[in-house]
Amino acid sequence: MEPRNTLPEQAETPDSPPGYPVRHCFWKYPLIAGGLAALLILLGFVVGSPNTPRDTIAGVSRGDPGGAILAFTQELSGTSTSWADADSRGMGEPSQVFVLNPVSDFAALLGKAVTQAVNTYDQASPTQRQAWAGAYEQALGTITPKTTGEAASLGITPSPDYTQVGSLSGDFGPVPTLVQADLTLARAGHLEQNLVGQDPGHSLQLGTIWLYDHPAMLNYAMTGGFTDDQWGMVKERGFSVGPWYLIIPAIFHVKLPLGATGTGFVLWNLLAASIFLLVVPLLPGLRNLPRRLGLYRFVYRYPTRDTPAAAGRGRQSQATAKTNAP
Q: Summarize the confidence of residues 246-261 as an average pLDDT.
A: 86
For the chain, helix, strand, coil in percent to 5 are 65, 0, 35
Neighbours of 217 (CB within 10 A): 21
Q: Which three-class secondary structure state does DSSP give residue 143?
A: coil
Q: Residue 301 is inside which H or E element, if any?
A: strand 300-301
pLDDT at 77 over 60: yes
Q: Summarize the confidence of residues 96-124 as an average pLDDT.
A: 94
| pLDDT band at 80; cut points 50, 70, 90 | very high
Question: What span, in angstroms and rounded, lies between the C-alpha atoms of 91 and 198?
Answer: 10
Find out whether 294 and 302 touch, Cβ atoms under 8 Å: no
Neighbours of 239 (CB within 10 A): 14
Question: What span, in angstroms and rounded, lies between the C-alpha atoms of 274 and 36?
Answer: 27
The model carries a pTM of 0.65
| pLDDT band at 13; cut points 50, 70, 90 | low
- Count Cβ neighbours within 10 Å for each residue of 298-325 and write b for 16 or more, e otherwise: eeeebbeeeeeebeebbeeeeeeeeeee
Structure confidence by residue, pLDDT tens digits, 171-227: 999 999 999 999 999 999 999 999 888 777 766 788 888 988 998 887 887 777 777
pLDDT at 280 over 70: yes
pLDDT at 55 over 70: yes
Structure confidence by residue, pLDDT tens digits, 261-277: 888 889 998 998 888 88
Q: Which three-class secondary structure state does DSSP give residue 23?
A: strand
How high is the pLDDT of residue 103? 96
Mean pLDDT (the chain, rounded)? 80
Structure confidence by residue, pLDDT tens digits, 311-326: 445 444 444 444 444 5
Q: Which residues contact 178 (CB under 8 A, 6 or more apart)?
A: 72, 76, 99, 100, 103, 114, 117, 118, 121
Question: What span, in angstroms and rounded, lies between the C-alpha atoms of 18 and 176?
Answer: 77
| pLDDT band at 303; cut points 50, 70, 90 | low
- How do the domains of the chain map onto residue ranges? 57-225
Find out whether 117 and 174 touch, Cβ atoms under 8 Å: yes
